[in-house]
Amino acid sequence: MDFAISDEQRMIYEYGKSLVKKFDRKYWVEKARQHAFPAEMYQQAADDGFVGLMVAEEYGGAGLGMLEMALLQEGLSNEGIPLLSLIVGATMSMSLISGHGTEEQKQQYLPGACKGENRFCFAVTEADAGTNTTNITSLTRSTKDKGRYTLNGRKTFITDAECAEYMLVVTRSTPLKDVQSKTDGFTIVMIDTKAKGIEVHPIDISIEVPEDKYMVFFDDVDIGPENIIGEVDQGFKILFESLNPERIIISAVCTGLGRYALGRAVEYANDRVVFDRPIGAYQALQHPLAKAKTDIELASLMMRKAAWLFDRGEACGTESNMAKYASSEAGIYAVDSALQCFGGNGFTKEYGIFDLYPIVRLFRTAPLNSEMVLNYIAEREMGLPRSY
């Protein structure tokens, strides 16, 4: 068993250290507070060849895998500058197009995306369906042209829906009552976010991140074969392929931000003197930090294992879910332990520690809540009965 990463992977992991010299945490936080996309930072990452890390070289990418993408995100997050757009964009959407797009679709979307010229958002959630994705509705055959479809309905919480150029929409194309299995009858479509019939409205979210969330309304949006990724009614399999990468890259955000918080806490705890000694000398602060460090490194190992399995084409559902669960819990605990070290300062904007909390906490709930992650492990890995 070899835990070493290659020189190239190390370089990718450490890219955050050089990017932060130009675009530091302060830059990221300012963008987050203004709800402005960190465009210059994203463009720099694209110019340096990192946005297209998982895209084949013939389409302008680096032809690398999930492990490299996770190392990139973990390295950026270690510095406190997570590039959250890499989750739905570079990891989920671009891989999905690479794997299932036609040659024309790949040429149309991938080279520009690798250069940072266009971004994607990913629309799954509907208010009435929630976690039960199989309940969504939307795509029907066009009444005017039998070869075309019409998209109606609305999605909610869609990250970056206004600024991204394209949206991957998960639709139900055959009603639930007409399918044999609940996961049959889905189609994935790619649409221009400025297409006729699309309206977006921002949702005010209590998390300061640069990418806003939106309600998206579809009113008779015209969909043709050119918009369909993969085959009609076969979309769930495609969606499923992008879920493990999503869990893996979210793990990388959580372990990285956890490390960043712990690094800041150690620095502060070594420096701050209360009762004649640095507060870091008190075991009541030391032990939670040491536990958090252990949890983060354990979670990071599982994240790397899941990515490694994914790249080998092996089943990695259990490992991806475990990594996501362990990393989000470890990230929450690490930020909370760090916060305690900072005392009152931890809650100030100047020190910016509390700012980290909503982001890691989000990942206990979304995109897939921890309960569903544990359901998966209990049922699929351990053979316990399905509870819902």
Ligand X SMILES: Cc1cc2nc3c(=O)[nH]c(=O)nc-3n(C[C@H](O)[C@H](O)[C@H](O)COP(=O)(O)OP(=O)(O)OC[C@H]3O[C@@H](n4cnc5c(N)ncnc54)[C@H](O)[C@@H]3O)c2cc1C
Tokens for 308, please give them. 């490694």
Instruction: Single out the residue of 37, 50, 122, 149 in contact with ligand X (rule: CB under 6 A).
Output: 122
Rounded to the nearest whole angstrom, what is the least distance from the CB of residue 188 to ligand X in the complex?
12
Instruction: Single out the residue of 43, 108, 174, 369 in contact with ligand X (rule: CB under 6 A).
Output: 369
**With respect to ligand X, which residue has the nearer C-beta, 256 or 288?**
256
Q: Which stretch binds ligand X (CB under 6 A): 77-85, 108-116, 242-250, 368-376?
A: 368-376
Instruction: Single out the residue of 130, 202, 224, 343 in contact with ligand X (rule: CB under 6 A).
Output: 130
The CA–CA distances, whole Å, from 44 to 16, 21, 41, 82 equal 11, 12, 5, 14
Beta bridge partners of residue 149, listed in sequence order:
141, 223
Peptide bond into 367 cis (omega under 30): yes
**CA pair distance 239, 247, nearest whole angstrom:** 13
**CA pair distance 340, 343, nearest whole angstrom:** 5
With binding defined as CB under 6 A, does residue 137 bind ligand X?
no
- Phi/psi at 230 (nearest 5 deg)? 75, -155
Q: Which stretch binds ligand X (CB under 6 A): 66-74, 121-129, 192-200, 333-341?
A: 121-129
With binding defined as CB under 6 A, does residue 135 bind ligand X?
no
Binding mask 151-170 for ligand X (x = CB under 6 A): ------xxx-----------
**CA pair distance 278, 268, nearest whole angstrom:** 9
Binding mask 89-108 for ligand X (x = CB under 6 A): --------------------
Binding mask 39-78 for ligand X (x = CB under 6 A): ----------------------------------------
The CA–CA distances, whole Å, from 91 to 14, 56, 86, 191, 201 equal 19, 13, 6, 18, 25
Rounded to the nearest whole angstrom, what is the least distance from the CB of residue 88 to ligand X in the complex?
6
Q: How many residues bind ligand X (CB under 6 A)?
A: 23
- Phi/psi at 273 (nearest 5 deg)? -105, 125
Residue with tokens 């990468």: 245
Q: With contact defined as beta carbons under 8 Å apart, do 307 and 65 qualify?
A: yes
Other beta carbons less than 10 A from residue 350's beta carbon: 6
> What residues from 173 to 232 belong to the interface with ligand X (CB under 6 A)?
205, 207, 213
Q: List residues binding ligand X (CB under 6 A).
A: 88, 121-125, 130-131, 157-159, 205, 207, 213, 362, 365-367, 369, 371-372, 375, 388
